[in-house]
Amino acid sequence: MKITPEKEGAVLVFDEGETITAMFNPNKLSFSKSVDWQPGNANQRDVPELQFKNGDSRTLTLDLMFDTYDTPSNKKIDVRDHTRKLSHLTTVATHGDKHRPPVCRLSWGAASVFFQGVLQNMTLLLTLFMPNGTPVRATSNCVFREWYTNYADLQNQKLESSDVSK
């Protein structure tokens, strides 16, 4: 699986040179989507009518494993050399004049790009250490939140229905 961030200083232009390739493909992908339904005012009713307000963007949750212990060399490198690239996706630093973390595209094999969003939450768990304290195995739980421009989202809407056009 690959995570490709936006180019520095560009919007929705992706930098293949900065692609993060998972050391191990995740064993599961969890997609979540919710919508906002507001109850209407309904005196003396048990079940008020619900009115649709808006949808929330989807989220994708996955675990990525990083392991430098099983490398052929005797000198084991710090696994954080790999996880720093992932945690960098949660920062504003060095992402140009966007003043926000980059949008990323996630791709995997024949599925190509299957999700576009921002890294909303990342939890890093270091699980194996060398005798000198160097971490050599880590699991990162990542939550990506779907992200599109307002223009791209509006292109997908069918705004000619009677409840919208009136």
Tens digit of pLDDT for each residue in 103-140?
Answer: 999 999 887 899 999 999 999 999 999 999 999 999 99
Q: pTM here?
A: 0.80
Which DSSP state fits 91? -
Tens digit of pLDDT for each residue in 76-109?
Answer: 889 999 899 999 999 887 766 778 899 999 999 8
SS3 for 119-160 is EEEEEEEEEEECCCCCEEEEEEEEEEEECCCHHHHHHCCCCC
The pLDDT value recorded for residue 115 is: 95
Residue 22 — left, alpha, or beta (φ > 0 → left; ψ -120 to 50 → alpha)? beta
Whole-number Å distance between alpha carbons of 34 and 53: 11
Tens digit of pLDDT for each residue in 23-54?
Answer: 898 999 999 999 999 988 877 778 888 888 88
